[in-house]
Amino acid sequence: MTILVTGGAGYIGSHTCVELLSAGFEVIILDNFVNSHPEVISRIEKITGKGLAVINGDVRDQALVEECLKKYSCTAVMHFAGLKAVGDSVKNPLAYYDNNFVGTHRLLLAMQNCGVEKIVFSSSATVYGEPQYLPITEDHPLTATNPYGRSKLFIEEMLRDFHHANPSWKIALLRYFNPAGAHESGLIGEDPMGLPNNLMPYIAQVATGRREYLSIWGNDYATHDGTGVRDYIHVVDLALGHLKALQQLNSSKSLCLNLGAGIGYSVLDIVHTFEKTSGKKIPYQIDKRRFGDIAVCYADPTLARESLDWVARRDLVAICKDHWRWQKQNPEGYA
């Protein structure tokens, strides 16, 4: 079976390509490299010992997507391509609606024209907005607090409407919590362009000396140590969740699932675990809260366990160890 992986050169997509290839799928990556580096392709090939086709192009290019689907006889799409920086989305909302929403719309049209009726979509815990209860289950009310989150929510709504009108389609909406870590080979990992927006890559860059210190955004939240709490999930577990979701779509029905570990860790928990596993001191200073941040967010992953027989197996120590191995071996990322 051949899978078209949009955004397959990115952080989560590249790890998922490794698992797809290792499980015997053929993989075609469609990526415009707006937030990734071509070097990742040879790393995926090195890890798996398998080759893959790469098309340098945009998911909004419907004709190109149709050409790829036909040429390689793809049977399903994993759709990672998108922009993901919350702050940037506030400044450039149209870019986010265009890239994320219009991109997915064109992709669906292309798939429809080619008779490809299976898609796994990268959604996010951001569609829950400020949690009304914890842990968050999939039936938690949906809302969005910024254009990035709204683009994900709009795509989910479009996919629900589309599925209602086309019940033969198999659609998986996977709501990720906080992906972190890297492949245990240290060959692939997260390589943010410019200043990292997320906690783990920022800490890793402090550990290599590329950044002087970590700013912790608020220590006055109602949490065990005052810093924000999130559900960190190892990127390899996340990739394996995609594989299981795809296999499930092949055999039965559509899915909407949380992919999280179900455990909340604070910023200081992460700093201390990273220090222990890397042997590096992480200097930090407490700054004011980041606008729009929530205090606590973690998943109830029961439904994923029941429907996919999937659980996050790699703990926080493995996440920090693997993230550090990647950063230490590639202090400047892929460049």
Active site (catalytic) residues: 148
198 near ligand UDP, rule: CB under 6 A: yes
293 near ligand UDP, rule: CB under 6 A: yes
Contacts to ligand UDP from residues 36-75, by CB under 6 A: none
Binding site for ligand NAD (CB under 6 A): 6-7, 9-13, 30-36, 58-60, 80-84, 99, 103, 122, 124, 176, 179
Backbone angles phi, psi at 23, to 5 degrees: -85, 0
Q: Which amino acid is at 266?
A: S
For ligand NAD, the closer CB: 222 or 241: 241
One DSSP character per residue, 300-325 reads --HHHHHHH-------HHHHHHHHHH
CB of 324 to ligand NAD, least distance (A): 18
The binder of 76, among ligand NAD, ligand UDP, none, by C-beta within 5 to 8 A per type, is: none
145, 122, 156, 29: CA torsion to nearest 10: 130
For ligand NAD, the closer CB: 97 or 226: 97
One DSSP character per residue, 120-163 reads EEEEEGGGG-S-SSSSBPTTSPP--SSHHHHHHHHHHHHHHHHH
Fill in the per-residue mask, 149 to 188: x = in contact with ligand UDP (CB under 6 A), - = not in contact. Answer: -----------------------------x----------
Number of Cβ within 10 Å of residue 18's Cβ equals: 23
The closest alpha carbon to 320, from 264, 269, 259, belongs to 269
CB of 132 to ligand NAD, least distance (A): 20
* Residue numbers at the binding site for ligand UDP (CB under 6 A): 178, 197-199, 202, 214-217, 228, 230, 267, 290, 293
